[in-house]
Amino acid sequence: GVGPHTISVPRICSAFDIEKGNFNDGISDELFCRIVAVLRIAVPYTGLIVSTRESPAVRAKILDLGVSQMSGGSKTTVGGYTDEPEAEDTAQFDVSDHRTLSQVVEWLLDTGHIPSFCTACYREGRTGDRFMSLVKSGQIANCCGPNAIMTLKEFMVDYGSPSLREKGEALIMRELNSITNPKVREIAIRNLAMIEQGQRDFRF
């Protein structure tokens, strides 16, 4: 009676000693997009995740079909995020989207989406039936929108280029105006100012 919190949509792709062309029943880009669209219709309250194994072109298309979470700047080799990662032949799969995280964030801003780094629901225990009741009642809007812009602000301040920051600030101003609860908007504005001053980890 609760339903899934997130669904990931990986498909077979090339990796060390695996060539996807060897699989006759591999899923085409067109069918992959249709699967994503059907999943979004079937479970409208569920996060849909796509990884960097998909190309920028496919990720752009399925973003408009209902994908709500995607990775950026992923490293799939053993120790990929350390200073001395293992050789490429330890990769779990080949990455098709080689853009950096900042480039993915700026792309999302350019397409009118809100790049959010929010993990508040997991950290606050808002999962299962508790999460679903908030989503179905619409009350999650008092958490998701403000948390999205606050985590985006943190990323912009810590890692953003001047171009990214300019685009992000414009989006944040637009999104602040869309927060209907005046108390939530007031707290979000205060927290954004404190983030600019160096404080971190605010969440609703």
Full pLDDT tens readout for the chain, 204 residues: 667 778 998 887 666 666 767 766 778 899 999 999 999 999 888 889 998 889 999 999 999 999 999 988 877 666 766 767 566 666 666 678 889 999 999 999 999 999 999 999 889 888 888 888 888 888 888 898 999 999 999 999 999 999 999 999 999 999 999 998 999 999 999 999 999 999 999 999
- Report the C-alpha gap between 44 and 65 in whole angstroms: 12
User: Please, is 15 exposed, middle or buried when counting C-beta atoms within 10 Å of its C-beta (0-12, 13-18, 19+)?
Assistant: middle
Q: Tokens 């999943």 label which residue?
A: 39
Tens digits of residue pLDDT in 98-150: 899 999 999 999 999 999 999 998 898 888 888 888 888 888 888 989 999 99
Give the relative orientation of helices 162-178 and 101-110 as an angle to the nearest 10 degrees.
50
pLDDT of res. 77:
67
Amino acid present at 26:
G
pLDDT of res. 181:
92
Strands 69-70 and 47-50: parallel
Give the relative orientation of helices 29-42 and 56-63 as an angle to the nearest 10 degrees.
30
